[in-house]
Amino acid sequence: MQDAKRRAILFLVIALILSLVAGILFMQKVSAIDARLGNFEPVYVAKEGINAREELSPEDFEVVEIPKQYVQKSAVTDLNMIELEGRRYQIADLVSVVPLGEGEALTTNILKPRMELGSGDKRMVMIYRSDMVGFDDVFNYGDRVDIVYVDRNGKGHIYKYRGIPIVSLAKDDKSVTGLGLEMTLEQAADFVSLQNTAASIRILKAPNIAD
């Protein structure tokens, strides 16, 4: 009986020692992995789906910490200090030019400054580059454009609008694919009709001065 107790105690001690050694080895392994990964850095991901050009706020995002070595250069790590084209913005002053899905990381390459429409009687009309619609320059937010079209009756190029401001851009990986133009309600209705009836439309960069 005494031998059985001694063996039980011996096995228990050995088991405790092995557990301690295993714990030490595990912690060493974790430390080694942490050392390879380096420090963790917070990035922001969308809490839920966000539409393109939708107003953004800090409540739309949550923090996820990932190893610093895996953080993209374009990842947003501070919603109050987002640097774009040499200027710093808060998230509320920006919009995403593409939709964001739930859990997708917020990066600077999809953000652009948000521009309010000039007044309550203005509307934004999107026009996209196509075989019928040509862009004659590289455009950015705040630029102004003149719109020229050829009708289907064969008339020459007709100036339709002058000095229309750009308030939104649609982009792919390489270039601008669409422009959001600020127009009055009457201009917007007329321009939508024009897109359906014109033989071709050309968008020209205009002097950046309102008429």
Q: What's the number of domains the chain is made of?
A: 2
Domain that holds residue 177: 122-206
Phi-psi region of 74 (alpha: psi -120 to 50; beta: other; left: phi over 0): alpha
Same domain, residue pair 93 and 143: no
Look at residue 194 in the predicted model and tell me its pLDDT.
87
* Ordered per-residue pLDDT tens for the chain, 211 residues: 566 667 777 777 787 887 887 777 777 676 665 556 557 888 999 999 988 777 788 999 999 988 877 778 888 989 988 887 777 888 988 888 778 889 999 998 888 877 655 666 788 888 999 999 999 888 877 789 999 998 877 666 777 889 998 887 777 766 788 888 888 888 988 998 888 888 899 999 988 765 4
Tell which of 94, 113, 132 closes a domain: 113
Residues 96 and 135 in one domain: no
Counting beta carbons within 10 angstroms of the beta carbon of residue 164, is it exposed (0 to 12), middle (13 to 18) or buried (19 or more)? Answer: buried
Q: What single letter denotes the amino acid at residue 161?
A: Y
How many other CB atoms are there within 10 angstroms of residue 181's CB atom?
23
Q: Are residues 147 and 181 in the same domain?
A: yes
Instruction: Report DSSP state, residue 104.
Output: P
* Phi and psi based region of residue 29 (left: phi greater than 0; alpha: psi -120 to 50; beta: remaining): alpha
d(Cα 112, Cα 62) in Å, to the nearest integer?
A: 20
Residue 209 · residue 162 · CB < 8 Å: no
Whether residue 3 is contained in a domain is answered as no
Q: Judge if 160 and 181 occupy the same domain.
A: yes
> What is the pTM for the complete model shown?
0.48
Q: Is residue 5 part of a domain?
A: no
Task: Please indicate, yes or no, whether residues 148 and 180 belong to a single structural domain of this protein.
Answer: yes
